[in-house]
Amino acid sequence: MTSRLLTPDICIIGAGSGGLSVAAAAAAFGVEVVLIEKGRMGGDCLNYGCVPSKSLIAVAALAHDARSGRALGLNAGEPVLDYGLTHAHIHDVIATIAPHDSVERFEALGVTVLQDHARFVDERTVEAGEVRVRARRFVIATGSSPAVPPIPGLDTVGSLTNETIFDLKTRPDHLIIIGGGPIGIELAQAYRRLGAQVSVVEAATVLAREDREAAAVVRAALRDEGVALHEATKVVRVETDEAGIAVIVEAQEGEGRLSGSHLLVAVGRTANTESLGLDVAGIDHDKRGIQVDQAMRTSNRRVYAIGDVAGGLQFTHAANYHAGLVVRAILFRLPIRNRPVLVPRVTYSDPELAHVGLSEAEARESHGDSLKVLRAPFAENDRARAEARTEGFVKLVADRRGRILGATIVGDRAGELIGLWSLAVSRRLKVSAIAGLVLPYPTLSEAGKRAAVSFYTDSLDNPWVRRLVRFLRIFG
């Protein structure tokens, strides 16, 4: 059978956030685009990740607020959960957003959508079913999938991942989570707030990538709410028992056993590169994903890779950032450079933990003793006090001239507050720019300004500054 041949300007493989962003932008400029997706439009974020998890977290937050209101004089009683309605809410949110990412919408934009598996058959041709696509440029945006560790017995107990846990129509009685990264921690807290017992098993430390001080605040909150954290603990094997699932663990004190009703595996993600024919296309790749240069270009000059599959940051907004870069490169021939340091990240625990730029440890490596670390606790912020949400702090790292190198926020609505600091890092602003802002009172954003102002604390005791003030007093 002869394959139909398409010759668009751009062929995109993968209809997750990054791929859809490239397709929409290119089509808006009248560029001929072919988009290939074998699974659900919208990718992981819409169907299994950001959207369902934040919908679940929202329900869990309401339950927690009902309980915690007692301390402020509002005794609403123990919330009664109807998990069937929670399940319906999650999938209603997905269904509401799905039309924006649908085949119909993108075909209306002028994009040719092929719903099939894509694989390279040579360096400049991709095959999808009975169609061959020979494009001027290709963009691989196939995302990633949950990593499954080689734990004995794991394949026999019916474990869950983020791709299957949102299909549950009843709440787990005791959820055991392997992995203490952002996904594991967010879902651990959410299910605990919904009334489940939750145990987290982590081989290292919870949120190990994050600032130690900030992670400690989240860790304390989880324990206060009753989440059992088993850190520095190795999973030896998994088996079934009378409770449902047993996880055999090994820690410093010896071997132990955790029994629960459900098991969630959240140990990271693996780039989706299998069956793409990358070797045939001359595209270098390894276990982390497709290797790209600073311009997101692969070893095949016709092919770009963006998002999770590019082996770096695995966030929806990072994929969208990459998409913007390659659109500028492909359509306008502009030079581009991927700068991962500009991409913020947020763990949507409560309190939230957000970061952008260099961490304190990274900044010390590059700036040594000249580094300045500035802090402002939420306990000294009037809005946080009024709402009884005083956990956490804002931490800034700046060089000796006051240029902002990075920011970490742990506290209420940290994910919303980090936006200002993303701008500061991307525009290489100094703390003086933030210290001079006029912010509404009372708001949590004032904590960031307070941290910025603290850069000048040393000048209060500077003898030269004091002499200048005395001198200027002479002139009235």
Q: For residue 428, how many C-alpha atoms fall within 13 Å in the half-sphere facing its CB?
A: 1
Q: Is 179 marked as binding a ligand? A: yes
Same domain, 169 and 228: yes
What's residue 469's pLDDT? 66
* pLDDT in single tens digits along all 476 residues of the chain: 557 999 999 999 999 999 999 999 999 999 999 999 999 999 999 999 999 999 999 999 999 999 988 778 888 888 999 999 999 999 999 999 999 999 999 999 999 999 999 999 999 999 999 999 999 999 999 999 999 999 999 999 999 999 999 999 999 999 999 999 999 999 999 999 999 999 999 999 999 999 999 999 999 999 999 999 999 999 999 999 887 999 999 999 999 999 999 999 999 999 999 999 999 999 999 999 999 999 999 999 999 999 999 998 899 999 999 999 999 999 999 999 999 999 999 999 999 999 999 999 999 998 888 899 999 999 999 999 999 999 999 999 999 999 999 999 999 999 999 999 999 999 999 999 999 999 999 999 999 999 999 999 865 566 766 666 677 777 76
Number of domains in the chain: 3
What's residue 451's pLDDT? 97
Q: Which residue has the tokens 């603990």?
A: 233
Same domain, 262 and 293: no
Please tell me the distance from the alpha carbon of residue 322 to that of residue 271, in angstroms, as a whole number.
16
Same domain, 174 and 263: yes
Q: Is 282 marked as binding a ligand? A: no
Same domain, 161 and 142: no
Q: Is 416 marked as binding a ligand? A: no
Instruction: Tell me if 132 sits within 8 A of 125, measured CB to CB.
Output: yes
**CATH code of the domain in which 397 resides:** 3.30.390.30
Same domain, 318 and 223: no
Please tell me the distance from the alpha carbon of residue 401 to that of residue 407, in angstroms, as a whole number.
16
Q: Last residue of some domain: 204, 236, 268?
A: 268
Q: Is 129 marked as binding a ligand? A: no
Q: What is the DSSP string of 100-169?
A: GGSHHHHHHTT-EEE-S-EEEEETTEEEETTEEE--SEEEE---EEE-----TTGGGTT-B-TTTGGG-S
Cross-strand bridge partners of residue 290: 285
Q: Is 54 marked as binding a ligand? A: yes
Please tell me the distance from the alpha carbon of residue 123 to that of residue 303, in angstroms, as a whole number.
9
Q: Is 156 marked as binding a ligand? A: no
What's residue 465's pLDDT? 62
Same domain, 223 and 313: no
What's residue 75's pLDDT? 84
Q: Last residue of some domain: 229, 246, 268?
A: 268
Please tell me the distance from the alpha carbon of residue 312 to that of residue 292, in angstroms, as a whole number.
10
Full domain range(s) for residue 56: 4-146+270-341
Same domain, 126 and 41: yes
Same domain, 397 and 248: no
CA 275 to chain centre: 26
Same domain, 58 and 193: no
Q: Is 104 marked as binding a ligand? A: no
Same domain, 227 and 280: no
Q: Which of 411, 396, 387, 388 is nearest to 449 (CA)?
A: 396
> In this structure, is residue 332 part of a structural domain?
yes
**CATH code of the domain in which 81 resides:** 3.50.50.60
> In this structure, is residue 203 part of a structural domain?
yes
DSSP state of 80: P
Same domain, 326 and 366: no
Q: Last residue of some domain: 268, 286, 315?
A: 268
Q: Which of 34, 36, 16, 38 is nearest to 26 (CA)?
A: 34
Same domain, 297 and 243: no
Q: Is 184 marked as binding a ligand? A: yes
> In this structure, is residue 346 part of a structural domain?
no
Q: Is 268 marked as binding a ligand? A: yes
